[in-house]
Structure 1
């Protein structure tokens, strides 16, 4: 009886919890606003090539952040993760107000703050998977959409703050607000109990292609990081995600500067174009999550988005690389692809390797952003926008091929046509 009552309560409140987790996701949106700081930091005499190192470092923090967040959740629950992560993020941003060196910025906002962000963010992705076993793609897409909308709103706000107050005070003020949201939500969050199933839902049946493998996967759905990393499918998805990392980190790190130089628009206009990019990236998560749940599955949907991005880049470059309309089209398609990556990658991992070890497994997958961000931001500040797009078109075509091929290997591992 108690279990039934608890299930009914979670069924009613789980969508509200997604909204709460979106507010938590604002911290991750904030750390991606680094491109708004390049100009103000340059006025301080700080080298932009040092500043973008912060973006590379912050993606590396996904692994330790995921490990610590997972350990905290296992021992104290998700509420404690939210409280510790939010407080740590806020205090780090406040400490940033007092720094005078670009390398100190790299340490605090590239290392410490993202550590707390990933402690929180990855665990919320796992929580969504546990709360929505029946609608994982849609729920994850909604979460990504909310964070994307937050990103769309945060960059112009951040850019405005750099004009009305000292950039360091703007960082501190914003950090207190976003970190405070996270701590507050730590008091109201609901976690799904182990084995939770919404009332009236039964897991989908898939076509068996290898009975022995299917029996093994059914008896042990949870694969730890060591077993995951010896599977070819993992490395195909991993390398595909690295390709995403090159494109996304390069755009995040210096979007305003590159677009201003390419199209001859003001920094404010470039900031709004970035908002369009992040808005599409977020909104597409809902659509792609639904399409994945209902039609193609996560791997094929993601591969298709990669292919369309490569084609969009090719068309833009082939027509001279100066069309405002075609650039907006590229933004829309690339934003859709990156939204698909954020919404569908967690689903791929939970469907293939289970929920139990998702924190550490997803943390390992997020290191793809680290690898990609060692290439993307440095490339973005050293070459022209056209050259950067040319490289990005090639890597997105590679991503499309690898992720599509991974479908066959994932199904083989599971012994059934899950993907």
Structure 2
């Protein structure tokens, strides 16, 4: 099997890795029982909002190893970076179930899990994109879509495990599965040779940046495109991350849903997120990436408006708001890896995309 054929197998492995890396989107299911557990241990009131710092730290730290891990990935390959990240993610989830204070949870989930997530996600997406210069939009949609679909599958499973065996055992199970699959998948991946070109592929010779400029992070930071792209991603991703991190709590407090229904609401956001990732690439083929992202931003604004008006007597607005925000977030996450590669070149995309992700 030549590399043009084998790259499809490598794409499948990367999607499986990202499917398990997307376990971060189940945070809102874990937050409430973790808060109850810590309240019992400390004897002081603890709410899911008090634990939001752990989720925020994990998201805030993830782009940092994407930057440095991207440089390591470019030099040593994914067989080193992804297993290391998988071990950190698995350990972070496992020990989060044993945390005895909010500070310990911040360290285990926010630090260990967040650092591991950045290593895994960045290496998986950018490694496979280099194998597909002829299908960059498709691969960006599939790899980020697999990451998003985890939040469709995991919340109901996690809620079942929590009800059956408690939050500690549930996090042990999730951590073991996440660590084992990501480590194994990372060992199966390989770096893309610098001179690789798929059979029959002829690089586009369109004028402008996309015609072949390869900018490193220094050239990207000096470019006139960097700041507008950074601000656009920040605006587009913030609304979705707020709802993803607190969706379970919002569903229970604002809408009065029970645990099972609130878990399904989280999965509903995740499903919209996944659909947004998969469909945004196809939409950008017709509309262009900038117009697609502009549409995604408008959908996010509408979603926030609907969610602010929702309540027990306006359930339709609640679910439409979740749908809009999940779709918009998926749109940005599905388009931006390819967008940065188009503007700044694919050679340094591991680092360049990581820098764009830092505020998000």
Common fold, TM-score beyond 0.5?
Answer: yes
1:349 matched to 2:349: no
Return the match for 1:360 from 339, 351, 357: 351
Return the match for 1:224 from 210, 216, 241: 216
CA contact (8 A) 2:236 2:296 kept: no
Write the deviation string for residues 139-161 of structure 1: whole angstroms up to 9, x where unpaired: 11112222222211111112222
Q: Secondary structure at the match of 2:99?
A: coil
CA contact (8 A) 1:281 1:338 kept: yes
Give the greater-gyration-radius structure (CA): 1
Per the alignment, residue 42 of structure 2 pairs with none
Q: Secondary structure at the match of 1:193?
A: coil
Q: After TM superposition, give the deviation of residue 346 of structure 1 in Å.
A: 0.7
- Separation in 2 of the partners of 1:107 and 1:77? 28
Alignment gaps of 5+ in structure 2? 40-45
- Separation in 2 of the partners of 1:114 and 1:259? 25
- Separation in 2 of the partners of 1:40 and 1:316? 25
Per the alignment, residue 328 of structure 1 pairs with 319
Q: After TM superposition, give the deviation of residue 325 of structure 1 in Å.
A: 2.3
Q: After TM superposition, give the deviation of residue 359 of structure 1 in Å.
A: 1.9
Write the deviation string for residues 106-160 of structure 1: whole angstroms up to 9, x where unpaired: 1110111110111111011111220111111111111222222221111111222
Aligned structure 1 segments of 4 or more residues deviating by more than 4 angstroms: 216-219, 315-322
Per the alignment, residue 13 of structure 1 pairs with 6
- Separation in 2 of the partners of 1:74 and 1:142? 21
Q: Secondary structure at the match of 1:263?
A: coil
CA contact (8 A) 2:66 2:123 kept: yes
| More divergent stretch after superposition (145-154 vs 223-232) | 223-232
- Separation in 1 of the partners of 2:55 and 2:224? 29
Change (3 A) 1:289 1:320: same
Per the alignment, residue 297 of structure 2 pairs with 306
Q: After TM superposition, give the deviation of residue 313 of structure 1 in Å.
A: 4.1
- Separation in 2 of the partners of 1:315 and 1:100? 38
Q: After TM superposition, give the deviation of residue 345 of structure 1 in Å.
A: 0.6
Change (3 A) 1:316 1:177: closer
Per the alignment, residue 340 of structure 1 pairs with 331
Per the alignment, residue 37 of structure 1 pairs with 30
Q: After TM superposition, give the deviation of residue 35 of structure 1 in Å.
A: 0.8
Write the deviation string for residues 173-201 of structure 1: whole angstroms up to 9, x where unpaired: 21111110011112322432113222122
Q: After TM superposition, give the deviation of residue 319 of structure 1 in Å.
A: 8.4
Q: Secondary structure at the match of 2:346?
A: coil
Q: After TM superposition, give the deviation of residue 252 of structure 1 in Å.
A: 1.9
Change (3 A) 1:50 1:82: same
Return the match for 2:15 from 14, 22, 26: 22
CA RMSD of aligned residues (A): 2.3
Per the alignment, residue 241 of structure 1 pairs with 233
Change (3 A) 1:138 1:184: same
Q: After TM superposition, give the deviation of residue 19 of structure 1 in Å.
A: 2.0
| Number of equivalenced pairs | 353
Change (3 A) 1:223 1:322: farther
Change (3 A) 1:145 1:245: closer
Change (3 A) 1:296 1:195: farther
CA contact (8 A) 1:10 1:192 kept: no
Q: After TM superposition, give the deviation of residue 227 of structure 1 in Å.
A: 2.4
CA contact (8 A) 1:129 1:350 kept: no
Write the deviation string for residues 330-386 of structure 1: whole angstroms up to 9, x where unpaired: 3222222111111101111001111222222222111121xxxxxxxxxxxxxxxxx
- Separation in 1 of the partners of 2:196 and 2:295? 32
Per the alignment, residue 130 of structure 1 pairs with 130
Q: After TM superposition, give the deviation of residue 82 of structure 1 in Å.
A: 2.1
CA contact (8 A) 1:94 1:175 kept: yes
Alignment gaps of 5+ in structure 1? 1-7, 209-213, 370-419
| More divergent stretch after superposition (327-336 vs 31-40) | 327-336
Per the alignment, residue 284 of structure 1 pairs with 276
CA contact (8 A) 2:48 2:249 kept: no
Change (3 A) 1:321 1:354: farther
Give runs of aligned pairs for residues 54-69 of structure 1, distance below 5 A.
54-69=54-69
Q: Secondary structure at the match of 1:368?
A: coil
Change (3 A) 1:322 1:239: farther
Q: After TM superposition, give the deviation of residue 321 of structure 1 in Å.
A: 8.8
- Separation in 1 of the partners of 2:210 and 2:320? 42
- Separation in 2 of the partners of 1:39 and 1:92? 18
